[in-house]
């Protein structure tokens, strides 16, 4: 029988009920906000305002967009919603102007070297995406064996960015890949400016799932001494002939990664389960040198942070989007830390200067620490072996019976395992900065000792 709650809900007041109803309307109708945004892109409103020098009136837009004059009052209502929700700005003179958000939606304008984000908005407001989200309740009710397909796969019988999607709808597949490229490339300029130390000492780098190589080329242009490989599937590499700046490599990051001083995973791991992420990171570890030689993995991805205010809501929306459209998820720092430890990495740093995303620098264990780890793993294995031998009572006794024969009833038993050495070693090694300190705005952490070692011996 279910336990009864000791708390009873207070009956809302009239004022609270009225406000609750208004909030319910807002939540229920909030899907119209992205629909209005999509409409603005399809009509070309941000681009038209940009061509007017950054500000335009309602008559200007009606004329420029070649809309029927009868639609002017309706366009005014759409613009009012876009202004209220922060997509545009407006003033008392009746002029509508661009803000940073709408500047991202201007066709033909390069933002920090990247294309506009119109494809992203059109993709996530497409019928394929909306229909998958509408099937979420039915998806929850089904008991499906692992690995659980996403609602998108359940509804459409195809997976995003896979050949099955290209067969289902080639035009939408093209749009989705354009959206992915625009989303992935956004922000690399900021990373190069804000995280100079991340790249300055590198001689080589492999960009996993690097697509058309835009990110890698940006790195090489900023740091010409770095030799960059772009690893991706054959269907991607075949579309991007080498231009001399970067080296395209056909392959699969689950099987092998081209050796380099650093491996980059930019907006990659959130598409995959924890188990898949551990496997990918294990391949990364094989591809890089030891920590003393500068080996590291650079991860650019969302780090969910409940203290980040409105950004936290955006991160949670992105997490549910991953649940609906892929088999991946967004992760907080503890979840990232757990994956790193299981993949054999000892330290990481997080720089939070990319809005909802973070830049994670992940380092393997120092050589000396790795050797110490293997030593204690061997000691643990030896202890288990001695424990087994104790129960078996191995080895005949050397004492003889009066008639000169050996006494088979007596056996030597190995002495109890001396734990003093192990315990003293632990005291000498100790924990190095287990909690971590914040230095220059960077979160630094040392991960726990490998799980293969029993510290309670």
Smallest CA-to-CA distance from 261 within 345, 349, 201, 348 is with: 201
pLDDT for 453 beyond 90? no
The pLDDT-based confidence of 111 (bands split at 50, 70, 90) is low
What pLDDT, on a 0 to 100 scale, did the predictor assign at position 68? 97
Q: Which pLDDT tens digit goes with each residue over 21-66? A: 999 999 999 999 999 999 999 999 999 999 999 999 999 999 999 9
Residues 6+ apart with CB under 8 A from 328: 269, 270, 271, 272, 273, 322
Question: What's the mean pLDDT in 221-246?
Answer: 89
The angle formed by the CA atoms of residues 135, 139 and 143, to the nearest 5 degrees, is: 165
Question: What's the mean pLDDT in 403-410?
Answer: 47
What pLDDT, on a 0 to 100 scale, did the predictor assign at position 400? 47
Question: Helix, strand, coil proportions of the chain in percent (round to 5)?
Answer: 50, 15, 35
What pLDDT, on a 0 to 100 scale, did the predictor assign at position 353? 81
What pLDDT, on a 0 to 100 scale, did the predictor assign at position 138? 94
88-116 b/e with 16+ CB inside 10 Å = b? bbbeeeebbbbeebbbbbbeeeebeebbb
Could you tell me the CA-to-CA distances from 132 to 154, 168, 172 in Å, in that order? 8, 14, 14
| 157: DSSP letter | S
Tokens 């590499």 label which residue? 237
pLDDT for 214 beyond 60? yes
The pLDDT-based confidence of 413 (bands split at 50, 70, 90) is very low
Backbone angles phi, psi at 126, to 5 degrees: -75, 165
The predicted model scores a pTM of 0.77
Average per-residue pLDDT for the chain = 83
Question: What's the mean pLDDT in 94-122?
Answer: 87
CA pseudo-torsion sign 40, 41, 43, 49 = positive
pLDDT, greater one: 70 or 417: 70
Question: What's the mean pLDDT in 209-215?
Answer: 90
Known catalytic residue at 128: no
Smallest CA-to-CA distance from 361 within 428, 437, 295, 274 is with: 295
pLDDT, greater one: 260 or 145: 260
How far is it, in rounded angstroms, from Cα 286 to Cα 292? 15
3-state secondary structure of 166: helix
pLDDT for 2 beyond 80? no
What pLDDT, on a 0 to 100 scale, did the predictor assign at position 392? 56
pLDDT for 99 beyond 70? yes
- Which domains are seen in the chain, by residue range? 33-109 (1.10.10.10), 121-181 (no CATH), 187-364 (3.40.50.150)
Q: Which pLDDT tens digit goes with each residue over 296-344? A: 999 999 999 998 888 999 999 999 999 999 999 999 999 999 999 999 9
Q: How many Cα atoms are found within 13 Å in the side-chain-facing hemisphere of 410?
A: 8
DSSP line for 23-77: HHHHHHHTTHHHHHHHHHHHHTHHHHHHHTTSEEEHHHHHHHTT--GGGHHHHHH
Q: Which pLDDT tens digit goes with each residue over 262-283? A: 999 999 999 999 999 999 999 9
3-state secondary structure of 108: coil
Smallest CA-to-CA distance from 121 within 36, 61, 213, 210 is with: 36
Gap between the terminal Cα atoms of the chain: 42
Tokens 């809900």 label which residue? 9
Could you tell me the CA-to-CA distances from 68 to 48, 65, 123, 282 in Å, in that order? 16, 9, 27, 60
Residues 6+ apart with CB under 8 A from 308: 315
What pLDDT, on a 0 to 100 scale, did the predictor assign at position 430? 45
Q: Which of 50, 128, 185, 270 is catalytic?
A: 270
The pLDDT-based confidence of 161 (bands split at 50, 70, 90) is confident
Q: Which pLDDT tens digit goes with each residue over 172-197? A: 999 998 898 888 888 888 899 888 88
What pLDDT, on a 0 to 100 scale, did the predictor assign at position 382? 62
| pLDDT above 70: percentage of residues in the chain | 77
């Amino acid at each position: 029988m279910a336990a009864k709650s000791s708390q009873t809900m207070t009956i809302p007041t009239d004022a609270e009920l009225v406000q609750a109803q208004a909030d319910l309307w807002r939540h229920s109708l909030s899907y119209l906000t992205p629909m209005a945004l999509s409409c603005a892109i399809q009509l070309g409103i941000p681009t038209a305002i940009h061509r007017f020098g950054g500000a335009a009136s309602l008559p200007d837009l009606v004329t420029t967009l070649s809309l029927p004059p009868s639609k002017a009052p309706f366009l005014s209502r759409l613009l009012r919603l876009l202004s209220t929700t922060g997509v545009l700005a407006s003033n008392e003179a009746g002029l509508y102007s661009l803000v940073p958000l709408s500047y991202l939606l201007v066709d033909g304008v390069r933002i920090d070297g990247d294309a506009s984000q119109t494809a992203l908005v059109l993709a996530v407001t497409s019928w394929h995406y909306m229909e998958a989200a509408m099937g979420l309740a039915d998806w929850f009710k089904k008991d499906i064996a692992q690995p659980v397909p996403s609602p998108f796969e359940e509804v459409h019988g195809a997976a995003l960015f896979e050949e099955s999607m290209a067969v289902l709808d080639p035009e939408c597949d093209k749009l989705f890949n354009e959206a992915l490229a625009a989303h992935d490339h956004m922000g690399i300029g900021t990373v190069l400016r804000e995280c100079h130390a991340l790249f300055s000492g590198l001689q080589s780098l492999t960009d996993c799932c690097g697509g058309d190589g835009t990110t890698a080329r940006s790195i090489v242009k900023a740091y010409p001494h770095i030799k960059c490989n772009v690893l991706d599937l054959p269907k991607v590499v075949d579309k991007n002939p080498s231009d001399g700046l970067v080296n395209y490599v056909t392959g699969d990051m689950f099987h092998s990664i081209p050796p380099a001083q650093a491996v980059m995973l930019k907006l990659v791991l959130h598409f995959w389960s924890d188990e898949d992420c551990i496997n990918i990171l294990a391949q990364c570890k094989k591809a890089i040198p030891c920590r003393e030689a500068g080996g590291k993995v650079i991860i650019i991805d969302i780090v969910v942070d409940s203290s980040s205010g409105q950004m936290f809501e955006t991160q949670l929306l992105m997490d549910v989007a991953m649940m609906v459209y892929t088999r991946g998820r967004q992760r907080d720092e503890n979840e990232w830390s757990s994956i790193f430890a299981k993949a054999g990495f000892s330290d990481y740093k997080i720089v939070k200067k990319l809005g909802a995303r973070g830049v994670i620098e992940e380092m393997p264990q120092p050589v000396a620490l790795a050797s110490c780890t293997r030593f204690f793993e061997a000691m643990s294995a030896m202890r288990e072996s001695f424990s087994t031998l104790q129960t078996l009572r191995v080895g005949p006794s050397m004492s003889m019976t009066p008639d000169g024969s050996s006494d088979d009833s007596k056996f030597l038993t190995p002495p109890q395992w001396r734990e003093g050495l192990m315990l003293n070693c632990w005291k000498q090694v100790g924990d190095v900065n287990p909690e971590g300190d914040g230095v220059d705005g960077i979160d630094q952490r040392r991960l726990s000792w490998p799980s293969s070692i029993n510290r309670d011996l």
